[in-house]
Amino acid sequence: MASATPTRYQFVWIALAVGPMSAVHIALVAIPFVEFTLWSVLLMLAVSRFIGLGVTAGFHRCLTHHSFTMPRWFRFLLIAAGCAALQKGPLWWVSQHRLHHKHSDTLDDPHSPVIKNFFHAHLGWLFTVNPALPDAHLIRDLTKYPELVWLERLWVLPGVLLACACYAILGWGGVIYGYCLTVVFVLHVTFAVNSVAHLFGRKRFDTGDSSRNNAALGILALGEGWHNNHHRAPHSARHGFAWYEYDETYLFIRVLAWFGLAWAVKLPTAAGQAGETSQVSPLTKETGELPEPVSSSVT
């Protein structure tokens, strides 16, 4: 089971795995001693989008669900940006999320607040789950790419490089606010999709689990908060089905498609959005077609 109690040997590896994310939390004790300026805000906004889209568009919609395709060189850059969010390596991230979909809100779900509790789903599971890849078969479609395997091994490196870049821009203010505080924010917003979005919000579709659409997370998590929609059509690049469900990640993917950096973008059928099926249909670069806005009457 995914949540089995780790051995002493595994405990050491867990400590090493969560060390970087623990370090950025500890670094926040320096906040009273570092000047906060308008430039700090602008850097935080830039870094949050850089690493946030690396996770949502890169780790999640591209690697985990193959919601769209992109050139390998650009995918490498996007996944490297996701690594800078310190949510561990991309292959480990994908394997855990695929387990979540396969066993959602059952005993084998790595982070279910229904089976265990809110704290376990939000953060505690990282201290109990085996830090090794749980099942190589879950990611056999990705291990054939040496650049992804390399990033899996050196997943901390992009974060170190980004922290150094923040220091070059704003000194220690750049490190504490631009990198550490921003990473902590992105971490907890991501964790909230596992915890909050399975307890609080609107359940539009009966997906066999407790996934919900949470409007606040829909904005803060760049579209990932429309979690019930996502569990309805996991392979869709678009999580916000209705016009009022703001999905910043999907808008980013559309921009990539406009520049020829994304194609074969998968979208839910009209029937799937209405609750009749969870099928998705491809959107190709060659056709250049885009979906019509979904009516607000979708239920």
Cβ atoms 81, 58 nearer than 8 A: yes
Can you give the pLDDT at residue 130?
64
Can you give the pLDDT at residue 271?
56
Instruction: Kindly state whether residue 50 falls inside one of the protein's structural domains.
Output: yes
Instruction: Kindly state whether residue 205 falls inside one of the protein's structural domains.
Output: yes
Cβ atoms 215, 82 nearer than 8 A: no
Per-residue pLDDT of the chain (299 residues; tens, 9 = 90+): 444 455 565 666 666 778 899 999 999 999 999 999 999 999 999 999 999 999 999 999 999 999 999 999 999 999 999 999 999 999 999 999 999 999 999 998 999 999 999 999 998 888 876 666 656 788 999 999 999 999 999 999 999 999 999 999 999 999 999 999 999 999 999 999 999 999 999 999 999 999 999 999 999 999 999 999 999 999 999 999 999 999 999 999 999 999 999 999 999 876 567 665 444 444 333 333 333 333 333 32
Question: What count of other Cβ atoms lies within 10 Å of the Cβ of residue 79?
Answer: 28
Question: What count of other Cβ atoms lies within 10 Å of the Cβ of residue 88?
Answer: 20
Instruction: Kindly state whether residue 154 falls inside one of the protein's structural domains.
Output: yes
Start-to-end CA distance of the chain, whole Å, equals 35
CA angle, residues 255, 275, 231, in degrees to nearest 5? 60
Instruction: Kindly state whether residue 75 falls inside one of the protein's structural domains.
Output: yes
Cα(160)–Cα(8) distance, integer angstroms = 28
Cα(70)–Cα(33) distance, integer angstroms = 43
Tokens of 168: 């070059």
Instruction: Kindly state whether residue 69 falls inside one of the protein's structural domains.
Output: yes
Instruction: Kindly state whether residue 267 falls inside one of the protein's structural domains.
Output: no
φ/ψ of residue 44, rounded to 5:
-60, -40
Range of the domain at 196: 8-210
105 CB contacts (<8 Å, ≥6 apart)?
112, 114, 115, 198, 209, 210
Can you give the pLDDT at residue 296?
31
Residue tagged 């500890």 (tokens): 26
Instruction: Kindly state whether residue 64 falls inside one of the protein's structural domains.
Output: yes
Instruction: Kindly state whether residue 183 falls inside one of the protein's structural domains.
Output: yes
Counting the structural domains of the chain, the total is 1
Pairs from 273-278 (Cβ < 8 Å, separation ≥ 24): 273/233, 273/241, 273/298, 274/298, 274/299, 275/204, 275/205, 275/232, 275/299, 278/232, 278/233, 278/234
